[in-house]
Amino acid sequence: MTQQPQAGNDVKKAERDAKQKQSEAVLHRLVQEIDDNPDDYHTYYDLGALLVNLKSYTQAEELLVKALGLFADKSRQAKDTLTYGLGNVYYEAGEYQKAIEQFNQVKDTKLKSDAYLMLAQSYMGNNDHKTALAFALTAAQNRQQDPQVNQLIADNLLAVGSFKDATTYYDKVLASDPKNGRAQFDRGICAVVLGVDATKYFEAAKKLDRDYYDKGQSRLTDIQNLLLKPKNTTKSDQ
């Protein structure tokens, strides 16, 4: 009888424990830094980000709200940085409307592009793809070669049915990130709708991201069935 599954589980548990210890060490260090230098808003931001990474959203929210109370009136940059951080808390917690409210308040030039990107993702989370697309295109003005931004644009174009335009952006993504299995699959979806051979995209997606490929099969079937449905269904038999 093989013991490989148990060995694999032991390795994963060891990796999780190591990451947990590392996170706890960083957490302890950041808390100590706040105690030693309570006037540095960056440490509050970093600690909030770590708490988000640990999925401690309530603690992260409380920390950043407290930090905003301490620093918002002292520095515009501090206010924007902490507001952006709070927006990230809400986004990761799935509270997209609250996230939108925070990201809309960011005025700092350096953070503005990131805020537009997060607004796009937040609106997408709310299934408002047209607004998401508008913010993604705005974010792209200064990040035209960023595959993350181009994929966000492509995903929203796909969602609103602009398949030809979506292919343009998926092609940009794949030009810089050909091992992106999700982009490969969705590029294949566009090809199917446009009547083009999608085999190479689906084969690549199956190899690169089997989970996304498998989950996408029902969506692919629905699209194929829709394309096969007779279009002239408005006239009834006399």
117 and 67 together in one domain: yes
Q: Burial letters for 8-36: b for 16+ Cβ neighbours within 10 Å, e otherwise?
A: eeeeeeeeeeeeeeeeeeeeeebeebbee
> In CATH, what number is assigned to the domain containing residue 148?
1.25.40.10
Q: Burial letters for 100-120: b for 16+ Cβ neighbours within 10 Å, e otherwise?
A: bebbeebebeebbbbbbbbbb
Predicted pLDDT at 8: 61
Over residues 172-199, mean pLDDT: 97
Predicted pLDDT at 1: 46
210 has a pLDDT exceeding 80: yes
pLDDT digits (tens, 9 = 90+) for 107-161: 998 899 999 999 999 999 999 999 999 999 999 998 888 999 999 999 999 999 9
- Domain, as residue range, for 119: 24-131
Predicted pLDDT at 9: 67
Please give the model's pTM, rounded to 2 decimal places: 0.82
30 and 107 together in one domain: yes
126 and 30 together in one domain: yes
Instruction: Kindly state whether residue 19 falls inside one of the protein's structural domains.
Output: no
pLDDT digits (tens, 9 = 90+) for 26-60: 777 777 777 777 889 999 999 999 999 999 999 99
